[in-house]
Protein backbone atom coordinates (compact mmCIF):
# COMPACT_ATOMS: atom_id res chain seq x y z
CA UNK A 1 0.00 0.00 0.00
CA UNK A 2 1.28 3.46 -0.86
CA UNK A 3 0.42 5.38 2.32
CA UNK A 4 -0.99 8.88 1.89
CA UNK A 5 1.53 10.34 4.32
CA UNK A 6 3.99 7.91 5.98
CA UNK A 7 4.88 9.89 9.12
CA UNK A 8 7.27 7.23 10.36
CA UNK A 9 9.40 7.55 7.23
CA UNK A 10 9.22 11.33 7.39
CA UNK A 11 10.67 11.26 10.91
CA UNK A 12 13.21 8.58 9.99
CA UNK A 13 14.62 10.79 7.25
CA UNK A 14 16.25 13.00 9.90
CA UNK A 15 16.22 10.44 12.72
CA UNK A 16 19.73 10.91 14.06
CA UNK A 17 19.42 14.71 14.25
CA UNK A 18 15.99 14.42 15.84
CA UNK A 19 17.17 11.89 18.43
CA UNK A 20 20.12 14.11 19.25
CA UNK A 21 17.77 17.12 19.72
CA UNK A 22 15.31 15.20 21.89
CA UNK A 23 18.10 13.76 24.06
CA UNK A 24 19.63 17.20 24.47
CA UNK A 25 16.36 18.41 26.02
CA UNK A 26 15.82 15.29 28.11
CA UNK A 27 19.30 15.66 29.56
CA UNK A 28 19.01 19.42 30.12
CA UNK A 29 16.42 19.19 32.90
CA UNK A 30 14.52 22.18 31.38
CA UNK A 31 11.27 21.32 29.58
CA UNK A 32 9.19 24.47 29.04
CA UNK A 33 9.87 28.11 28.15
CA UNK A 34 13.58 27.60 27.74
CA UNK A 35 16.40 27.97 25.26
CA UNK A 36 15.02 25.68 22.56
CA UNK A 37 11.75 27.61 22.27
CA UNK A 38 13.59 30.92 22.29
CA UNK A 39 16.00 29.71 19.60
CA UNK A 40 13.21 28.26 17.47
CA UNK A 41 11.23 31.50 17.63
CA UNK A 42 14.30 33.42 16.48
CA UNK A 43 15.15 30.97 13.73
CA UNK A 44 11.59 30.76 12.40
CA UNK A 45 11.23 34.52 12.53
CA UNK A 46 14.43 34.87 10.52
CA UNK A 47 13.29 32.21 8.06
CA UNK A 48 9.96 34.00 7.51
CA UNK A 49 11.43 37.49 7.46
CA UNK A 50 8.79 38.53 10.02
CA UNK A 51 10.18 40.22 13.15
CA UNK A 52 8.19 38.52 15.94
CA UNK A 53 7.33 34.87 16.44
CA UNK A 54 5.38 33.87 19.54
CA UNK A 55 4.95 30.17 20.01
CA UNK A 56 1.82 28.53 21.38
CA UNK A 57 0.16 25.14 21.78
CA UNK A 58 -1.22 24.56 18.28
CA UNK A 59 -2.48 26.23 15.11
CA UNK A 60 -6.00 26.81 16.40
CA UNK A 61 -4.56 28.63 19.42
CA UNK A 62 -2.34 30.75 17.15
CA UNK A 63 -5.39 31.96 15.20
CA UNK A 64 -7.53 32.34 18.31
CA UNK A 65 -4.86 34.29 20.19
CA UNK A 66 -4.41 36.74 17.29
CA UNK A 67 -8.10 37.61 17.45
CA UNK A 68 -8.10 37.68 21.26
CA UNK A 69 -5.15 40.06 21.17
CA UNK A 70 -7.02 42.34 18.74
CA UNK A 71 -9.89 42.34 21.24
CA UNK A 72 -7.51 43.19 24.09
CA UNK A 73 -6.14 46.05 21.96
CA UNK A 74 -9.65 47.42 21.36
CA UNK A 75 -9.40 46.78 17.61
CA UNK A 76 -12.11 44.09 17.54
CA UNK A 77 -15.04 43.22 19.74
CA UNK A 78 -17.68 40.52 20.02
CA UNK A 79 -20.23 40.72 17.24
CA UNK A 80 -17.70 42.03 14.71
CA UNK A 81 -17.30 40.15 11.45
CA UNK A 82 -14.35 38.41 9.84
CA UNK A 83 -14.42 37.25 6.23
CA UNK A 84 -13.13 33.70 5.76
CA UNK A 85 -13.20 31.13 2.93
CA UNK A 86 -16.16 28.73 3.15
CA UNK A 87 -14.08 25.69 2.16
CA UNK A 88 -11.40 25.99 4.83
CA UNK A 89 -10.56 23.54 7.60
CA UNK A 90 -12.88 24.13 10.54
CA UNK A 91 -10.15 25.52 12.82
CA UNK A 92 -10.00 28.79 10.86
CA UNK A 93 -13.70 29.35 11.59
CA UNK A 94 -13.55 28.14 15.20
CA UNK A 95 -10.92 30.76 16.00
CA UNK A 96 -13.47 33.42 15.01
CA UNK A 97 -16.54 31.94 16.72
CA UNK A 98 -14.58 31.07 19.87
CA UNK A 99 -13.92 34.79 20.24
CA UNK A 100 -17.60 35.68 19.80
CA UNK A 101 -16.98 37.19 16.37
CA UNK A 102 -18.97 36.26 13.30
CA UNK A 103 -17.49 34.32 10.39
CA UNK A 104 -18.69 35.55 7.00
CA UNK A 105 -18.18 32.65 4.64
CA UNK A 106 -17.09 33.44 1.10
CA UNK A 107 -16.89 30.94 -1.74
CA UNK A 108 -13.57 29.83 -3.24
CA UNK A 109 -12.62 29.84 -6.92
CA UNK A 110 -13.19 26.48 -8.49
CA UNK A 111 -9.79 26.14 -10.16
CA UNK A 112 -7.57 27.46 -7.34
CA UNK A 113 -9.56 26.35 -4.27
CA UNK A 114 -8.65 29.74 -2.71
CA UNK A 115 -11.06 32.47 -1.59
CA UNK A 116 -12.58 34.30 -4.57
CA UNK A 117 -11.29 37.88 -4.21
CA UNK A 118 -13.98 39.22 -6.49
CA UNK A 119 -16.72 38.13 -4.05
CA UNK A 120 -15.26 39.72 -0.92
CA UNK A 121 -16.25 43.38 -1.24
CA UNK A 122 -20.00 42.68 -1.36
CA UNK A 123 -19.69 41.04 2.08
CA UNK A 124 -17.94 43.96 3.77
CA UNK A 125 -20.12 45.82 6.31
CA UNK A 126 -19.51 48.43 9.00
CA UNK A 127 -18.76 45.55 11.40
CA UNK A 128 -16.13 43.86 9.22
CA UNK A 129 -12.76 43.99 10.97
CA UNK A 130 -10.59 41.52 9.09
CA UNK A 131 -10.17 39.24 6.12
CA UNK A 132 -8.79 35.86 7.11
CA UNK A 133 -7.14 34.20 4.16
CA UNK A 134 -6.16 30.55 4.30
CA UNK A 135 -3.27 29.41 2.13
CA UNK A 136 -5.14 26.17 1.60
CA UNK A 137 -3.23 23.13 0.32
CA UNK A 138 0.00 25.19 0.29
CA UNK A 139 -1.18 27.63 -2.40
CA UNK A 140 -0.88 31.39 -2.07
CA UNK A 141 -4.32 32.83 -1.28
CA UNK A 142 -3.21 36.46 -1.24
CA UNK A 143 -4.13 38.64 -4.21
CA UNK A 144 -3.47 42.36 -4.80
CA UNK A 145 -7.28 42.79 -4.72
CA UNK A 146 -7.36 41.51 -1.13
CA UNK A 147 -4.57 43.92 -0.18
CA UNK A 148 -6.50 46.78 -1.80
CA UNK A 149 -9.68 45.92 0.13
CA UNK A 150 -7.78 45.73 3.43
CA UNK A 151 -6.31 49.18 2.82
CA UNK A 152 -9.54 50.70 1.50
CA UNK A 153 -11.73 49.51 4.42
CA UNK A 154 -9.00 49.52 7.08
CA UNK A 155 -9.25 45.76 7.65
CA UNK A 156 -6.66 43.50 9.23
CA UNK A 157 -5.31 40.70 7.07
CA UNK A 158 -5.06 37.49 9.11
CA UNK A 159 -3.31 34.60 7.39
CA UNK A 160 -3.95 30.98 8.28
CA UNK A 161 -0.58 29.54 7.27
CA UNK A 162 -1.15 26.09 8.77
CA UNK A 163 -0.72 24.50 5.33
CA UNK A 164 1.84 26.92 3.94
CA UNK A 165 5.22 26.67 5.68
CA UNK A 166 7.82 28.04 3.32
CA UNK A 167 5.40 29.87 1.04
CA UNK A 168 7.18 33.08 0.04
CA UNK A 169 4.42 35.62 -0.02
CA UNK A 170 5.16 38.19 2.60
CA UNK A 171 7.76 40.13 0.65
CA UNK A 172 5.41 40.56 -2.26
CA UNK A 173 2.49 42.17 -0.49
CA UNK A 174 2.09 45.48 1.24
CA UNK A 175 -0.89 45.58 3.51
CA UNK A 176 -0.78 48.70 5.64
CA UNK A 177 -2.44 46.99 8.60
CA UNK A 178 0.49 44.66 9.24
CA UNK A 179 1.39 40.97 9.06
CA UNK A 180 -0.59 38.51 11.21
CA UNK A 181 0.19 34.89 10.45
CA UNK A 182 -0.78 31.72 12.31
CA UNK A 183 1.21 28.50 11.87
CA UNK A 184 0.41 24.97 13.02
CA UNK A 185 3.13 22.35 13.47
CA UNK A 186 0.74 19.42 13.68
CA UNK A 187 2.75 16.33 12.63
CA UNK A 188 1.29 16.12 9.10
CA UNK A 189 2.05 19.74 8.16
CA UNK A 190 4.97 20.61 5.88
CA UNK A 191 6.87 21.60 9.02
CA UNK A 192 5.57 19.14 11.58
CA UNK A 193 6.48 18.48 15.21
CA UNK A 194 6.12 15.13 16.96
CA UNK A 195 3.00 16.39 18.69
CA UNK A 196 1.09 19.66 18.89
CA UNK A 197 2.66 23.08 18.44
CA UNK A 198 1.93 26.43 16.80
CA UNK A 199 3.25 29.96 16.32
CA UNK A 200 2.03 33.46 15.66
CA UNK A 201 4.26 35.50 13.32
CA UNK A 202 3.74 39.25 13.17
CA UNK A 203 5.43 42.59 12.53
CA UNK A 204 3.26 44.17 15.24
CA UNK A 205 5.20 44.35 18.50
CA UNK A 206 2.14 45.25 20.55
CA UNK A 207 0.16 42.28 19.24
CA UNK A 208 3.15 39.96 19.79
CA UNK A 209 3.37 41.05 23.43
CA UNK A 210 -0.38 40.58 23.91
CA UNK A 211 -0.32 37.10 22.34
CA UNK A 212 2.57 36.13 24.59
CA UNK A 213 0.72 37.33 27.68
CA UNK A 214 -2.60 35.75 26.65
CA UNK A 215 -0.91 32.39 26.09
CA UNK A 216 0.73 32.65 29.50
CA UNK A 217 -2.39 32.94 31.73
CA UNK A 218 -2.76 36.58 30.74
CA UNK A 219 0.51 37.52 32.37
CA UNK A 220 3.24 39.72 30.92
CA UNK A 221 5.10 39.91 34.21
CA UNK A 222 5.49 37.05 36.67
CA UNK A 223 2.45 36.73 38.96
CA UNK A 224 0.80 39.84 37.48
CA UNK A 225 -2.32 39.04 35.44
CA UNK A 226 -3.70 41.70 33.12
CA UNK A 227 -6.03 39.35 31.18
CA UNK A 228 -7.97 36.15 31.71
CA UNK A 229 -5.52 34.22 29.61
CA UNK A 230 -4.95 30.58 28.83
CA UNK A 231 -2.01 28.22 28.93
CA UNK A 232 -0.69 27.63 25.42
CA UNK A 233 2.95 26.71 24.87
CA UNK A 234 5.40 24.69 22.78
CA UNK A 235 7.34 22.06 24.74
CA UNK A 236 11.13 22.37 24.64
CA UNK A 237 11.26 18.91 23.04
CA UNK A 238 8.95 19.97 20.21
CA UNK A 239 10.89 23.19 19.68
CA UNK A 240 14.14 21.21 19.47
CA UNK A 241 12.60 18.87 16.88
CA UNK A 242 11.22 21.81 14.89
CA UNK A 243 14.66 23.45 14.84
CA UNK A 244 16.03 20.35 13.12
CA UNK A 245 13.17 20.11 10.65
CA UNK A 246 13.19 23.83 9.84
CA UNK A 247 16.69 23.39 8.47
CA UNK A 248 15.34 20.88 5.95
CA UNK A 249 12.05 22.59 5.12
CA UNK A 250 13.11 24.16 1.82
CA UNK A 251 14.75 20.92 0.71
CA UNK A 252 11.60 18.93 1.59
CA UNK A 253 9.35 21.47 -0.14
CA UNK A 254 11.55 21.21 -3.26
CA UNK A 255 10.92 17.46 -3.36
CA UNK A 256 7.17 18.08 -3.00
CA UNK A 257 7.36 20.50 -5.91
CA UNK A 258 9.15 17.94 -8.11
CA UNK A 259 6.44 15.38 -7.44
CA UNK A 260 3.70 17.93 -8.12
CA UNK A 261 5.42 18.95 -11.38
CA UNK A 262 5.41 15.30 -12.40
CA UNK A 263 1.70 15.06 -11.66
CA UNK A 264 1.02 18.21 -13.71
CA UNK A 265 3.04 16.92 -16.64
CA UNK A 266 1.77 13.37 -16.68
CA UNK A 267 -1.80 13.17 -15.41
CA UNK A 268 -3.81 13.33 -18.62
CA UNK A 269 -7.13 11.77 -17.65
CA UNK A 270 -10.01 14.04 -18.76
CA UNK A 271 -12.05 12.85 -15.75
CA UNK A 272 -9.40 14.17 -13.36
CA UNK A 273 -9.24 17.96 -13.15
CA UNK A 274 -5.99 19.41 -11.84
CA UNK A 275 -5.86 22.70 -9.93
CA UNK A 276 -4.59 25.76 -11.77
CA UNK A 277 -0.81 25.78 -11.80
CA UNK A 278 0.92 28.43 -9.73
CA UNK A 279 4.58 29.17 -9.05
CA UNK A 280 3.85 29.96 -5.41
CA UNK A 281 2.91 26.63 -3.91
CA UNK A 282 4.44 24.41 -1.23
CA UNK A 283 2.06 21.56 -2.08
CA UNK A 284 0.79 20.64 1.34
CA UNK A 285 -1.98 18.77 -0.49
CA UNK A 286 -2.30 17.88 -4.17
CA UNK A 287 -6.05 18.15 -4.81
CA UNK A 288 -7.77 16.88 -7.94
CA UNK A 289 -11.48 17.06 -8.76
CA UNK A 290 -13.30 13.98 -10.01
CA UNK A 291 -17.07 13.78 -10.67
CA UNK A 292 -17.20 10.20 -9.53
CA UNK A 293 -14.84 10.82 -6.62
CA UNK A 294 -15.95 8.13 -4.16
CA UNK A 295 -15.72 5.36 -6.75
CA UNK A 296 -12.31 6.65 -7.86
CA UNK A 297 -11.08 6.57 -4.28
CA UNK A 298 -12.17 2.95 -3.85
CA UNK A 299 -10.65 2.01 -7.20
CA UNK A 300 -7.27 3.54 -6.26
CA UNK A 301 -7.38 1.87 -2.87
CA UNK A 302 -7.91 -1.52 -4.51
CA UNK A 303 -4.77 -0.85 -6.49
CA UNK A 304 -2.80 -0.07 -3.36
CA UNK A 305 -2.99 3.74 -3.33
CA UNK A 306 -4.27 5.54 -0.25
CA UNK A 307 -5.88 8.94 -0.86
CA UNK A 308 -7.65 11.40 1.45
CA UNK A 309 -10.46 13.94 1.10
CA UNK A 310 -9.91 17.54 2.26
CA UNK A 311 -12.68 17.91 3.37
CA UNK A 312 -15.71 15.62 3.01
CA UNK A 313 -18.21 17.83 4.94
CA UNK A 314 -17.87 21.61 4.57
CA UNK A 315 -17.99 23.73 7.76
CA UNK A 316 -21.48 25.16 7.07
CA UNK A 317 -22.91 21.62 7.03
CA UNK A 318 -21.41 20.60 10.37
CA UNK A 319 -23.66 20.04 13.38
CA UNK A 320 -21.50 22.07 15.74
CA UNK A 321 -23.27 25.39 15.04
CA UNK A 322 -26.73 24.07 15.82
CA UNK A 323 -28.38 25.71 18.81
CA UNK A 324 -25.49 28.11 19.20
CA UNK A 325 -25.30 31.86 18.80
CA UNK A 326 -23.61 31.25 15.45
CA UNK A 327 -26.44 29.21 13.93
CA UNK A 328 -28.02 32.18 12.20
CA UNK A 329 -24.70 33.05 10.52
CA UNK A 330 -23.46 29.61 9.62
CA UNK A 331 -25.84 26.83 8.75
CA UNK A 332 -26.61 24.23 6.11
CA UNK A 333 -29.10 26.44 4.30
CA UNK A 334 -26.34 28.74 3.11
CA UNK A 335 -26.02 28.93 -0.65
CA UNK A 336 -22.43 27.79 -1.21
CA UNK A 337 -22.59 25.59 -4.31
CA UNK A 338 -18.87 25.69 -5.12
CA UNK A 339 -17.89 24.75 -1.58
CA UNK A 340 -20.46 21.93 -1.64
CA UNK A 341 -19.24 20.67 -5.00
CA UNK A 342 -15.62 20.64 -3.84
CA UNK A 343 -16.56 18.55 -0.83
CA UNK A 344 -18.04 16.01 -3.24
CA UNK A 345 -15.29 16.05 -5.86
CA UNK A 346 -11.99 16.74 -4.13
CA UNK A 347 -9.48 13.91 -3.82
CA UNK A 348 -5.97 14.36 -2.40
CA UNK A 349 -3.24 12.30 -4.05
CA UNK A 350 -0.24 11.08 -2.02
CA UNK A 351 2.49 13.69 -1.94
CA UNK A 352 5.33 13.94 0.53
CA UNK A 353 9.09 14.34 0.75
CA UNK A 354 9.50 10.56 1.18
CA UNK A 355 7.36 9.37 -1.74
CA UNK A 356 9.61 7.51 -4.23
CA UNK A 357 9.53 8.21 -7.94
CA UNK A 358 8.55 4.61 -8.61
CA UNK A 359 5.47 5.23 -6.47
CA UNK A 360 4.75 8.54 -8.22
CA UNK A 361 4.90 6.83 -11.63
CA UNK A 362 2.63 4.05 -10.41
CA UNK A 363 0.12 6.60 -8.99
CA UNK A 364 0.04 8.52 -12.29
CA UNK A 365 -0.54 5.32 -14.25
CA UNK A 366 -3.47 4.34 -12.03
CA UNK A 367 -4.94 7.86 -11.90
CA UNK A 368 -4.85 7.94 -15.71
CA UNK A 369 -6.81 4.68 -15.67
CA UNK A 370 -9.73 6.08 -13.66
CA UNK A 371 -12.97 5.93 -15.71
C1 LIG B 1 -4.13 22.12 10.72
C2 LIG B 1 -4.86 23.36 10.47
C3 LIG B 1 -5.23 24.23 11.51
C4 LIG B 1 -5.13 23.88 12.96
O5 LIG B 1 -3.91 23.52 13.42
P6 LIG B 1 -3.79 22.64 14.75
O7 LIG B 1 -2.35 22.74 15.10
O8 LIG B 1 -4.23 21.27 14.41
O9 LIG B 1 -4.66 23.29 15.78
C10 LIG B 1 -5.81 25.44 11.18
N11 LIG B 1 -6.05 25.76 9.90
C12 LIG B 1 -5.74 24.95 8.87
C13 LIG B 1 -6.03 25.41 7.47
C14 LIG B 1 -5.16 23.72 9.12
O15 LIG B 1 -4.87 22.91 8.10
Of all residues in the chain, the percent with pLDDT exceeding 70 is 98
CB-side neighbour CA atoms (13 Å) of 182: 27
Task: Spell out a b/e string for 308-342, using b for 16 or more CB atoms within 10 Å of the CB, else e.
Answer: bbbbeebbbbeeebeeeebeebbeeebebebbbeb
pLDDT at 173: 58
pLDDT at 9: 98
Q: How many Å lie between the centroid of ligand 1 and the Cα of residue 251? A: 23
Spatial separation of the C-alpha atoms in residues 16 and 361, rounded to whole Å: 30
pLDDT at 171: 47
* Closest C-alpha to ligand 1, atom 1: 162
Spatial separation of the C-alpha atoms in residues 99 and 97, rounded to whole Å: 5
Q: How many Å lie between the centroid of ligand 1 and the Cα of residue 63? A: 9
In ligand 1, the atom with minimum distance to the C-alpha of 189 is: 1
Sheet containing strand 81-85, edge to edge, reads: 52-56, 198-202, 180-184, 156-160, 128-134, 81-85, 102-106
* Closest C-alpha to ligand 1, atom 12: 162
Per-chain mean pLDDT for the chain: 96
* Closest C-alpha to ligand 1, atom 5: 59
Q: How many Å lie between the centroid of ligand 1 and the Cα of residue 142? A: 18
Report, as an integer, the average pLDDT of 213-235: 95
Q: How many Å lie between the centroid of ligand 1 and the Cα of residue 60? A: 6
- Omega within 30 of 0 (cis) for the link into 370: no
pLDDT digits (tens, 9 = 90+) for 107-165: 999 999 999 999 999 999 999 999 999 999 999 999 999 999 999 999 999 999 999 99
pLDDT digits (tens, 9 = 90+) for 162-189: 999 999 865 445 678 899 999 999 999 9
In ligand 1, the atom with minimum distance to the C-alpha of 134 is: 13
In ligand 1, the atom with minimum distance to the C-alpha of 88 is: 13
pLDDT at 172: 47
345 and 40 Cβ atoms separated by less than 8 Å = no
Mutate to test the pocket of ligand 1, among 57, 163, 191, 234 (most ligand atoms within 8 A of CB): 163
Q: How many Å lie between the centroid of ligand 1 and the Cα of residue 162? A: 5
pLDDT at 169: 64
Q: How many Å lie between the centroid of ligand 1 and the Cα of residue 59? A: 5
Mutate to test the pocket of ligand 1, among 55, 58, 89, 185 (most ligand atoms within 8 A of CB): 89
Instruction: Return the bridge partners of 270, or none.
Output: none
Report, as an integer, the average pLDDT of 273-285: 97
pLDDT at 177: 83
Mutate to test the pocket of ligand 1, among 56, 184, 197, 199 (most ligand atoms within 8 A of CB): 184
- In angstroms, what CA-CA distances link 177 with 141, 144, 153, 157, 338? 17, 14, 10, 7, 30
pLDDT at 176: 81
Label residue 8 by pLDDT band (50, 70, 90).
Answer: very high
pLDDT digits (tens, 9 = 90+) for 25-62: 999 999 999 999 999 999 999 999 999 999 999 999 99
Q: Residue 146: name the closest of 110, 109, 182, 93 by CA.
A: 109
pLDDT at 175: 79
pLDDT at 290: 98
What residues line ligand 1, using a CB cutoff of 6 Å? 58-60, 88-89, 91-92, 134, 160, 162-163, 184, 186, 196, 198
Amino acid sequence: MIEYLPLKKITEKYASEIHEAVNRVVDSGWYLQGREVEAFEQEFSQYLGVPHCVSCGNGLDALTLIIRAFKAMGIMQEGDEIIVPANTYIASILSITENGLIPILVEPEEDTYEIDSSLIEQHITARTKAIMIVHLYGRNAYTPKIGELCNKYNLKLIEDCAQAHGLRRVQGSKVQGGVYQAYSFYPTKNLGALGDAGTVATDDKELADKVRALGNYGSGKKYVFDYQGRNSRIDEIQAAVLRVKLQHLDEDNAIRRKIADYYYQNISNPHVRLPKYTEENVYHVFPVAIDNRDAAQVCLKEQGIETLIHYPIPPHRQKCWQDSAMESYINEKMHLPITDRMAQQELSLPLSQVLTFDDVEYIVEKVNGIM
